Copies of this chain bind each other. A is one copy, B any other.
Amino acid sequence: MSDADANRETMISSELLYDGRVVHLYLETMLLPNGETAKREVVRHPGAVAIVPFDADGNVILVRQYRLPAKQMLLEIPAGTLEPGEDPLACAIRELQEEIGYKPGTIDKIGGIYTAPGYTTEFIHLYMASDLTESKLAQDADEFIEVVRVSLDEAIRMIHSAEIADGKSVSGLLLAKALRA
């Protein structure tokens, strides 16, 4: 693996194609390892957090919401996008209060994932939280969320049966299971 960096690419130029509320799309011209150039479309994303929260009974607290791109309700672990300059841990504590109405007494980083590194910069910091106390912050005005509690083993079963099919939730729940085993 000594020449692992031989396949690096170098950016020649970058053009902003669309500057939206969530999606900031760029067209980047890259110099390839073989000396040729290629255009690559890149969605620049501020990053996000997702949290596996455990209640006092050891159940996982999930959220169910309509996801337009999936055209269905999805069951996910609580998550949210980083505000500009926001610390991921602070964001995780804020999102738990907004989405499920609890503040964690204990919260630990358990991993992190690039969601789709072929075309988006989005990186999600994954946490596991417990020792929850009630503390409600207002949700975003256009978010409509139902809270669902299941045991961790039931959540894992729901991954295998495709009832949970959100990437950050599959990664987060399986990581939490490995760490609590």
76-130 of chain A: CB within 8 A of chain B:
76, 81, 111-124
Number of interface residues of A (CB under 8 A): 72
Question: Could you tell me the distance between the alpha carbons of A119 and B37 in the complex, rounded to whole angstroms?
Answer: 29
Asked if B25 and A166 sit within 8 Å, CB to CB, the answer is no
CB contact between A28 and one of B9, B17, B68, B171 (< 8 Å): that residue: B68
CB contact between A25 and one of B18, B21, B42, B124 (< 8 Å): that residue: B18
Asked if A116 and B120 sit within 8 Å, CB to CB, the answer is yes
Chain B contacts of A124 at CB under 8 A? 167
20-37 of chain A: CB within 8 A of chain B:
20-23, 25, 27-28, 30, 32-34, 36
CB contact between A39 and one of B18, B21, B156 (< 8 Å): that residue: B21
Chain B contacts of A117 at CB under 8 A? 67, 69-70, 74, 76, 166
